Amino acid sequence: MKLCIIGTGYVGLVSGTCFAELGNNVICVDKDKEKIKNLKSGKIPIFEPGLEELVKKNIKHNRIKFSSDINSSIKRSNIIFICVGTPINKKTNNADLKYVFQVTRSIKNNLNKYKIIVNKSTVPITTGDKIEKILMNKKNRNKFEVVSNPEFLREGDAIRDFFYPDRVIVGTNNKRTNRIIKSLYLPLIKKESRYFNTSRRAAELIKYASNAFLATKISYINELANLCEKSSVDVKDVSKGIGLDQRIGERFLRAGPSYGGSCFPKDTKALIHTADKFKVNLSIVKSTIKANELRKNLPVNKIHKILGKNLKNKKITFLGVTFKPGTDDMRESSSIKLIPYLHKKNAKIRYYEPTGEKKEFNKLKNVKFFTNIEDACNSSDLIIIHTEWNEFKQLNFKKIIRKKKINVFDMRNLYSLKKMKKNKINYFGIGR
Ligand code: UDX
């Protein structure tokens, strides 16, 4: 099918490339001309494992094109995917839909034949109704259908999540439209993925409800981790013990510093805003947000517990600074607040980050980026394992720190308490 993907961020670029891989004829549109120029030569603006190869392969097979001409791209396509950002409006905590509506107006001007408009951006309930209203006029009636098709792609696993989704959610009550979209996803559904057709508003809410539930699950185990620390229980045992119950499930029960990223913080707040609009109190999601905010002070308290009140000239090494492994994304990463705090306390901070130096810390004179783990850790007073990259999972601390007293704050509980004790390492985890 002829697809037009509008927006080439994490969602648009991955979805467009994967749809091309499935044999569709795809054109990806972005208003950023520089970005489009790079994409045409296969240069990818985001760090997503496997994406560069897939883009290059589909350019070679002439299945994917890139353009900043939104009008002709819409005209030549049958299905238009809206994949633009819906950033949080800091004042109202609402999802900012200006880009969605800008694109909708462009579509309205180019309805030269019947088109399906599929919204993949994360949007509050009733946004599909608003898109429909903008498009509707006497001339355009019956020339389009608006569908909600939320994405569930995790950064770092986005391609796998696209090809092996737990479910494909399609929000439309139009049977013909549903048949067309179902045929587009057919290759994935054959892989036992669950194709679920529901109403447009239900599909819009399912996206927020999923992310808010996952965020709640994380805040739940994070708060239990606090109780574990006080009662000498290892939270990893509790995660395992409850996760073996099929109704709970083992995933998303890893205690950590607090959840970050571009979605959970934004989507939980936007869901509360929507609920407030409908005068419904989502008290559990509000508690999830509050618990996560409170948790942001935890790493600081732990560092002072290990190194004392005065951090002046203390050498502190961060292994990883992104919000999770497999991405270069720093959005809402706990390092964003933690490193400037330690810098203000005149500590000497070094960091090794697999995805390279971060602009967020460039202006901090006591913060130094290293290109290898050994140099970053050598003679450090404290090693902080901030992000659970695989290369941090089997370190020989004695060899890389070369100091008698070895302090390790493992924010992702990667190491066994027993082994750390046996190797006489001053080891601190989370919830242990
Ligand atoms: C999330 C959702 O998983 C995905 O379905 C949605 O489409 C987009 O948002 P993402 O934000 O990329 O994906 O990352 P995810 O792997 O979900 O992690 C989010 C945050 O939760 C990270 O800060 C991570 O460190 C934290 N986390 C995750 C935990 O602290 N413990 C866990 O067990 C899992």
Whether the CB of 429 sits within 6 Å of ligand 1:
no
Indicate the fold that domain 208-294 takes in CATH: N-(1-d-carboxylethyl)-l-norvaline Dehydrogenase; domain 2 (1.10.1040)
Cα first-last separation, the chain = 53
Whether the CB of 392 sits within 6 Å of ligand 1:
no
- For the stretch 36-91, pLDDT in tens is 999 999 999 999 999 999 999 999 999 999 999 999 999 999 999 999 999 998 88
Whether the CB of 257 sits within 6 Å of ligand 1:
no
C-alpha 261 – ligand 1 centre gap (Å): 7
Place of tokens 């005068």: 279
Buried residues in 172-201 as b, exposed as e (16+ CB within 10 A)? beeeebbebbeebbeebeeeebebebbebb
Ramachandran angles phi, psi of 138, nearest 5°? -55, -40
Ramachandran angles phi, psi of 170, nearest 5°? -125, 115
Q: Where do you find CATH 3.40.50.720 in the chain?
A: 2-198, 298-428
C-alpha 289 – ligand 1 centre gap (Å): 14
CA distance 238 to 228: 9
C-alpha 259 – ligand 1 centre gap (Å): 7
Report the amino acid identity of residue 121.
S
Whether the CB of 331 sits within 6 Å of ligand 1:
no
Report the amino acid identity of residue 248.
I
> Which atom of ligand 1 lies nearest, measured to the CA of 211?
2
Pocket test for ligand 1, best of 51, 264, 289 (most atoms within 8 A of CB): 264
C-alpha 113 – ligand 1 centre gap (Å): 40
> Which atom of ligand 1 lies nearest, measured to the CA of 333?
23
> Which atom of ligand 1 lies nearest, measured to the CA of 150?
7
- For the stretch 129-143, pLDDT in tens is 999 999 999 999 889
Pocket test for ligand 1, best of 252, 262, 298 (most atoms within 8 A of CB): 252
Whether the CB of 409 sits within 6 Å of ligand 1:
no
* pLDDT the model gives residue 193: 64
CB atoms near residue 98 (< 10 Å): 12
Pocket test for ligand 1, best of 219, 224, 259 (most atoms within 8 A of CB): 259
* pLDDT the model gives residue 259: 97
Nearest CA to ligand 1 atom 3: 154
> Which atom of ligand 1 lies nearest, measured to the CA of 122?
7
> Which atom of ligand 1 lies nearest, measured to the CA of 215?
21
Report the amino acid identity of residue 399.
K
Whether the CB of 218 sits within 6 Å of ligand 1:
yes
Q: Do the Cβ atoms of 257 and 298 come closer than 8 Å?
A: yes
Whether the CB of 261 sits within 6 Å of ligand 1:
yes
CA distance 310 to 322: 26
Ramachandran angles phi, psi of 239, nearest 5°? -55, -45
- For the stretch 164-203, pLDDT in tens is 999 999 999 999 999 999 999 999 987 666 899 999 999 9
- CATH number for 2-198: choose from 3.40.1260.10, 3.40.50.720, 3.40.190.10, 3.30.70.1060: 3.40.50.720
Indicate the fold that domain 298-428 takes in CATH: Rossmann fold (3.40.50)
Q: Where do you find CATH 1.10.1040.10 in the chain?
A: 208-294
C-alpha 193 – ligand 1 centre gap (Å): 21
Nearest CA to ligand 1 atom 5: 152
The catalytic residue positions are 263
CA 123 to chain centre: 16
* pLDDT the model gives residue 192: 60
Q: pLDDT tens string for the chain (432 positions)?
A: 999 999 999 999 999 999 999 999 999 999 999 999 999 999 999 999 999 999 999 999 999 999 999 999 999 999 999 999 999 988 888 899 999 999 999 999 999 999 999 999 999 999 999 999 999 999 998 899 999 999 999 999 999 999 999 999 999 999 999 999 999 999 998 766 689 999 999 999 999 999 999 999 999 999 999 999 999 999 999 999 999 999 999 999 999 999 999 999 999 999 999 999 999 999 999 999 999 999 999 999 999 999 999 999 999 999 999 999 999 999 999 999 999 999 999 999 999 999 999 999 999 999 999 999 999 999 999 999 999 999 999 999 999 888 889 999 999 999 999 999 999 999 999 999
> Which atom of ligand 1 lies nearest, measured to the CA of 332?
23
C-alpha 168 – ligand 1 centre gap (Å): 19
Whether the CB of 208 sits within 6 Å of ligand 1:
no
Whether the CB of 256 sits within 6 Å of ligand 1:
yes
Whether the CB of 19 sits within 6 Å of ligand 1:
no
Residues 6+ positions from 284 with CB-CB distance below 8 Å: 216
